[in-house]
């Protein structure tokens, strides 16, 4: 089909070639630039994700890991569950002092078949400064049923106080909290009892209890 003579201009068909509509170079450059920017952004975002995955990134996680100095981890004071309650603190938040043997009253009870054992043990404890309460046979719940060296019984509040002090005199005896009130504790003598701890050893154990352990700088509380 030939172009009428009256139709001239740039779109006039000449020979076998036909005119083509081409995008401007400026528009192509803009599109290419936008594509490059988008590609760089995607690559950068992916790189950050990989870095976080391998380094444990995240401010919240870092804050938890920080915890306390010395890499001790986050603290759990046990406030919700009531755990970790020991002897009440003294003035200024310092741990309360342990009672001396003279402030510990002990009932000495014999759960073995050997006679006179309770009185002999009570006399020795009295020489070492303890107050002596009841001296008798063990109640039916323990009589002839304590296979070890002995059992130390006391109210929950005596576990970190009176029972610890009494435990220095009978190192292998089992301390046990029972539901009762007061600070009087029981020493129930078992089948393997062969006497109290040697006086020198017991004295050293008492001294160790009275000396608080020193915390190294940067160590956990």
Q: Is residue 169 part of a domain?
A: yes
Say which DSSP state 69 is in. Answer: T
Pick from 58, 75, 107: which residue ends a domain? 58
What pLDDT, on the 0 to 100 scale, is given for residue 67? 47
The CB density around residue 154, as the number of other CB atoms within 10 Å, is: 24
Please check whether residue 65 lies inside any domain of the structure: no
Residues 212-220, mean pLDDT to the nearest whole number = 54
Q: Report the distance separating Cα 164 and Cα 182, nearest Å.
A: 16
DSSP secondary structure of 95-123: BPPPPPGGG-EEEEEE-SS-TTHHHHHHH
- Is residue 159 one of the residues assigned to a domain? yes
- Does residue 109 sit in the same domain as residue 204? yes
What is the count of structural domains for the chain?
A: 2
Q: What is the pLDDT of residue 136?
A: 97
Output the pTM of the full model: 0.56
> Given strand 174-177, what is the order of strands in its sheet?
131-137, 105-110, 185-189, 150-154, 174-177
User: What mean pLDDT value characterizes the chain?
Assistant: 76
Q: Which residues contact 166 (CB under 8 A, 6 or more apart)?
A: 104, 106, 130, 152, 185, 187
Residue 88 within any structural domain of the chain: no
Phi then psi for residue 135, to 5 deg, are -120, 115
| Residues 120 and 187 reside in one and the same domain | yes
Please give the pLDDT value at position 152: 97
Domain carrying residue 172: 98-210
pLDDT band at 2 (very low <50, low <70, confident <90, very high): low
Q: Judge whether 148 lies within some domain.
A: yes
Residue 82 reports pLDDT greater than 50 = no
* High-pLDDT (> 90) share of the chain, %: 49
Q: Binning pLDDT at 50, 70 and 90, where does residue 37 land?
A: confident
Cβ burial, residue 158 (10 Å; 0-12/13-18/19+): buried
pLDDT of 141 over the 50 cut: yes
Helix (H) or strand (E) holding 153: strand 150-154
Binning pLDDT at 50, 70 and 90, where does residue 70 land?
very low
Structure confidence by residue, pLDDT tens digits, 142-171? 999 999 999 999 999 999 999 999 999 998
One domain for residues 113 and 200? yes
Whether 41 maps to a domain, the answer reads yes
Q: Is 109 contained in some domain?
A: yes
The CATH number of whichever domain residue 200 belongs to comes to 3.30.70
């Amino acid at each position: 089909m030939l172009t009428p003579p009256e139709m001239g201009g740039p779109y006039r068909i000449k020979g076998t070639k036909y005119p083509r509509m081409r995008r401007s170079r400026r528009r192509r450059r803009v599109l290419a630039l936008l594509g490059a920017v988008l590609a760089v952004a995607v690559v950068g975002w992916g790189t950050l994700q990989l870095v976080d995955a391998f380094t444990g990134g995240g401010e919240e996680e870092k804050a938890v890991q920080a915890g306390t100095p010395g890499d001790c981890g986050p603290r759990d004071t046990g406030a919700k569950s009531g755990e970790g309650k020991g002897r009440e603190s003294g003035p200024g938040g310092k741990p309360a002092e342990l009672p001396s043997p003279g402030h510990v009253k002990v009932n000495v009870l014999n759960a073995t078949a050997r006679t006179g054992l309770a009185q002999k043990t009570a006399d020795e404890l009295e020489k070492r400064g303890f107050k002596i309460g009841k001296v008798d046979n063990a109640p039916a719940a323990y009589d002839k049923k304590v296979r070890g060296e002995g059992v130390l019984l006391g109210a929950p509040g005596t576990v970190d106080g009176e029972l610890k002090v009494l435990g220095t005199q009978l190192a292998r005896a089992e301390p046990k909290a029972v539901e009762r009130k007061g600070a009087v504790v029981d020493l129930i003598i078992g089948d393997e009892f062969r006497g109290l701890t040697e006086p020198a050893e017991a004295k050293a154990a008492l001294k160790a209890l009275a000396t608080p352990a020193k915390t190294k700088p940067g160590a956990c509380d």
